Amino acid sequence: MAGDIDDAADDRIPDPRPQHTPLWSILSRWLLALEAWLRSHGGTRLRRGLAAFWAVVALAGGVLLFGPVINEPMSLDDITGSASSATDTWIARDFDVDYTVERTDEGRLEADVVETIGAFFPDGVAETGIVRVLPTQYEGHALDPSDLEVTVDGEPATVDRSESSDQLTLTLSPGTSATAPLTGDHEFVLRYRLHDLAYTDVDEATGASVDLLAWDVFGPSWPQAFSGLDVSVTLPAELDDALVRQPRGALAWTLLSAGEWLTPEDPPADAGAPPGAITYGFTNDQNIPPYASARFTMVFESGTFVMPPPTALFIVQSFGPLLPLLFLAVTLLLALAARAVAWSDARGRPWFVAQSEPPRGVSVRAAAQVLRTPRTFELATALDAVSGKGRPDRTARLRAAARAARRTGRLGDRLRATLGYLSASEYGGQLREGLRRIPTGFVRDFFIAAPLALTLVQWGLVRQLSHQEPLAVVWWPAAFVLLSSAISLIVLAVALSARPLTRKGALVRQHLLGIGVYAERTQLLDRATTRDPLLAYAVVASDQGAARGTGRRVLDLIEGELGDDTASRGWRSSDFLSAPRILVRVVAVVLFGASVTAAAVLPNPYPRSLDPVAYSGDLPGTSFNEVRSFEADAVLALDDDRRARLTVTERIVVDFATESTSQVPQVARQWPARADGQELGLSVTSVTIDGTDAPYRASREGDTELMTTMLGEVLTGEHEVVVSYELASPVVAATGARVAEGSDTVDRLRWAALLEDWESSAGWPYDEAPSPVTVSITIPDALAGSALAAGWITEDTDSSDSARLWEETVVPFGRVATDAADDTGSTDSRDEVAGGTRYVLDLRENDNSFPFELRIADLGAMLDYPAGTFAGPDPDALAWQKVRDAFPLALVVALGVLALAIGAVSALVARRRGSRRAPPGFVRDLVWWLGSSTAVSTVWLFVWASSDMPDDWPEFPPLALAALAAVVGAAACWSLTLRERPAAATGRKVPRRIDARRPPRDRVE
């Protein structure tokens, strides 16, 4: 007896509890404790109350999403329309405001403000006073308006205060007759103190950190017209010394604005300013409509003021959208923990034993649902349909099972197997049979209600923030709402799909695991017959990672019984995705995604012009400067290793315009840094203005080098700018019109002093051209006489092929005669210098124009030498550059030809089949997926490549033909390959319907 007990113990297979991570265990413990606490403090009423709370949250989100915009900024129409009602209330005849800025002992900024408003009240206007709105929050600082004193016509006034989160609204009226309407002129004087107006920022001109005081004297709201403005700001001497540059004042209304750089003046005698104080001010005596803006800007050195900590409102505005997102992220962790632990399957016995009998009352399909084995679900169903005796049409069912065995575990069967598993009636039947349960309780309600409500709130915030540009930039609302929506969907999926096993289901699972152990020990899948009812259960209990191997073993079993090794013929059903079909679909999606990404990210491969950014006026401070003269002097040197070096010095007389810009005037220059796929080694060595070193930054812009000065001081008038740079590798391998015998390339020195598209004043768009424009190059004696071609670059040729290869027309040195200077405004001369010859092109304006159409091309010099003259040129890099230049054209043409070829295949298949109807399969996927993707990608890339292409470029015709071929191919694909009609629609016999336990007849491709 004791031996029997020991034998039974030896047959037991331990079934230990899952070992969860400490995080999941802790979070699940919290959830279970919370659930228990909530149930102990309330039942249905509490659940309804919590549901009502989340309903209110969702309602708030709905109001934000569909209701009015909170604090909506005024539109341009609102501002311009307010001019017609400017006299409906009162008019500010004068607005005089004086700021006295001081630094406290703690280093904080304080400003005493005195506003004198001359208000005129027209007859018939029922106004008893004026409304003045002051900000209380600015750039994360609490302004804390204090020491408020108000007088009306010299008498104390009645002040009604109303404060919001960031504004203080003052209603001012005479103290003696607060309810009587006012008429005529009245003087309102406000005295108050503001704190911490300055904030830390980055100076646009120098890129350095500064303390910035940029203030609108009208505050957040000024709905009045006015006819006079006088603004003054008084600083003590130590703060004036801390200014980076002189202050600026500006007045703006909608799209109209004017400003000026302010100069210091002595403060008024009655201002009460400390000795040595300096005052800056600006005035306006023109009529200005309502909602104008008057700003003064002062830039102080970093650290001038001690900055306060950010306010709570600023923190909420900056990090507010993170709170719902963070809440949802924590909710996701809790939901995953609940799914893994709190909602885990119930425990069966601590062990199970091998089983040789199917579980009582549990079908094979239900067993597959209990074990969650979708990959073998169809095969188990088919085997169950053929097991037992007396089955009719057994051979047909065996063949259907053989086809299912052939499909089992394959990648292409994963989708159909999963869909069949999820759509089975047994999926929901587990709940009716008591094998699984749906968790209930407060926690699950939270996981369903919270994501829905918070996602709605996030969408509402996005809609609100879309009207608040500053906050929208800080909050990144679009990214937050998309991420929140994704997290919410995951949490909902986790909560709604939770179906843990009950105790009964856990015991059934252990019984099925025992069948798996028994099948492994007895090699049931290799030795059994298809009549054995345990075989289907053994298939369900087999290792899902080896589902394909299980299918092969069952297939061998079936073929052995039938004596036919072709029993599985036709196993590729219409909804089976074979490897070629999957590959076609993947390639189609990747191809379309790659074409869209390439067109969005890569620059246009065939641009109309270089479009130098230095000439665009987009760089801060470069828009309104004017070049008076330009001189560039280049010196070519050759070292002992035959390596060339070009040193260039530019002298530019620039008239800095300060009246029309609020930015610090800067100088920008741009030169080629790469030619024919080879680096020129360009580096800026120095920049001086009037002989003094000037700060600058150099950066790469495509194939060019961009230099921009970083002047902190506002310069006015004409100044001489000297820029020095050098090219360490100015000579490159190039394809030339004239090459030495036995060579396909030349060694080319192409130096562009001014880039293509330079305007009449070298990038500063004024009608008056700089004069003179002088370009010179010095060539050493060692290179004299060996050049194949040399001259000045003047204009592009008509051939885009030669233009691509730097084949501009050049004026040979000495071609322009000196005696022709009076007619053309140009002289070309050569001077013998020590160790070389200096060639000079001196261009002077004649009738407001230059000779040779210079401005449509680079201006400089080009010299071609036989290949091998210099060390450094790289012919291989030139060859690769040609390949890269031709690649976009080759790609579009190849895709167009492929799309047309797929369309031709569609036509041939339709002709051979005698019908445009095609069954599901590789051919239809090839036509529908790859044909459509290729055609769309071709047209997309054609638009990308040709959108900025010059009209006369030879690449356009092949690109256009490729796009046309793609459209023709797509039309053929879509019209000649249609979906096959159902059998009932074609008049064919429809197979009889079989019950759920019988496998369907597979249709062969």
Each residue's pLDDT tens digit, 494-546 = 999 999 999 999 999 999 999 999 999 999 888 888 888 899 999 999 877 78
Q: Above 90 in pLDDT, residue 282?
A: yes
Task: Report the percentage of the chain scoring pLDDT > 90.
Answer: 36
Write the pLDDT tens digit of every residue in 106-129.
999 999 999 999 999 888 778 888
Residues 794 and 841: their CA atoms lie apart, in Å, by: 11
If phi over 0 gives left and psi between -120 and 50 gives alpha, with beta otherwise, what is residue 476?
Answer: left
Residue 20: the pLDDT is: 82
Q: What average pLDDT does the segment 362-384 reach?
A: 91
Largest Cα–Cα separation, the chain = 131
Q: State residue 389's pLDDT score.
A: 58
- The confidence score (pLDDT) of residue 411 equals 83
Mean pLDDT of 840-865: 69
The answer to whether the Cα torsion of 750, 751, 754, 755 is positive or negative is positive
Could you tell me which of 686, 639, 689 has the C-alpha nearest to residue 664?
689
Q: Which of 611-620, 720-729, 842-851, 885-894 has the highest mean pLDDT?
A: 720-729
Residue 738 has a pLDDT of 67
Q: What percent of the chain has pLDDT over 70?
A: 84
**Distance from C-alpha of 649 to C-alpha of 704, rounded to nearest angstrom:** 18
pLDDT given for residue 238 in this prediction: 93
255 contacts: CB under 8 Å, gap ≥ 6: none
User: pTM of this prediction?
Assistant: 0.74
Report CA-CA distances (Å) from 922 to 447, 937, 971: 43, 21, 19
Gap between the Cα atoms of 517 and 18, Å rounded: 20
Rounded Cα–Cα distance for residues 445 and 184 (Å): 66
Give whole-number Cα distances, 110 to 46, 195, 306, 579, in Å. 53, 5, 11, 74
Q: List own/partner pairs for 7-12 with CB under 8 A and 24 or more apart.
A: 8/353, 11/353, 11/354, 12/351, 12/352, 12/353
The predicted-structure confidence for 760-801, as pLDDT tens digits, reads as follows: 444 444 556 677 888 899 998 888 778 888 888 865 433 333
* Residue 50 identity: L
pLDDT of residue 799: 30
Q: How far apart are CA 484 and CA 480, in angstroms?
A: 6
Q: Crossing angle, helix 364-371 and helix 425-432, to 10 degrees?
A: 80
C-alpha torsion sign, points 791, 793, 795, 801? positive
- Predicted confidence (pLDDT) at residue 956 exceeds the cutoff of 60: yes
Q: CB neighbours of 346 closer than 8 A, spacing ≥ 6?
A: 500, 501, 502, 503, 505, 506
Q: What is the pLDDT of residues 903-924, one digit of tens each?
A: 898 888 888 777 777 777 788 8
State residue 95's pLDDT score: 93
Q: State yes or no: cis peptide before 359, omega within 30 of 0.
A: no
Q: State the average pLDDT over residues 472-491.
A: 77
Q: Residue 991 pLDDT more than 80?
A: no
Q: What is the DSSP letter of 437?
A: -
What are the phi and psi torsion angles at 970 (to 5°)? -65, -40
User: What is d(CA 481, CA 862) in angstroms, rounded to the nearest whole number?
Assistant: 56
Q: Which residue has the tokens 């009636």?
A: 425
User: For 843, phi and psi rounded to 5 degrees?
Assistant: -105, 125
Residue 853 has pLDDT above 60, yes or no: no
Structure tokens at 742: 């036995």
Can you give the pLDDT at residue 1005?
36
Q: Residue 563 is which amino acid?
A: G
Q: Which residues pair with 651 in a beta bridge?
A: 631, 722
Rounded to an integer, the average pLDDT of 966-977 is 87
Query: How high does pLDDT run on average in the chain?
Result: 83
CA distances, 165 to each of 109, 162, 317, 931 (Å): 22, 10, 12, 59
Winning range, highest mean pLDDT, from 154-168, 670-684, 969-983: 670-684
Q: How far apart are CA 501 and CA 332, in angstroms?
A: 22
Weakest-pLDDT range from 390-404, 521-535, 662-676, 793-807 = 793-807
Q: Write out the E strands in 728-858.
A: 731-734, 746-754, 773-780, 789-795, 809-812, 826-833, 836-843
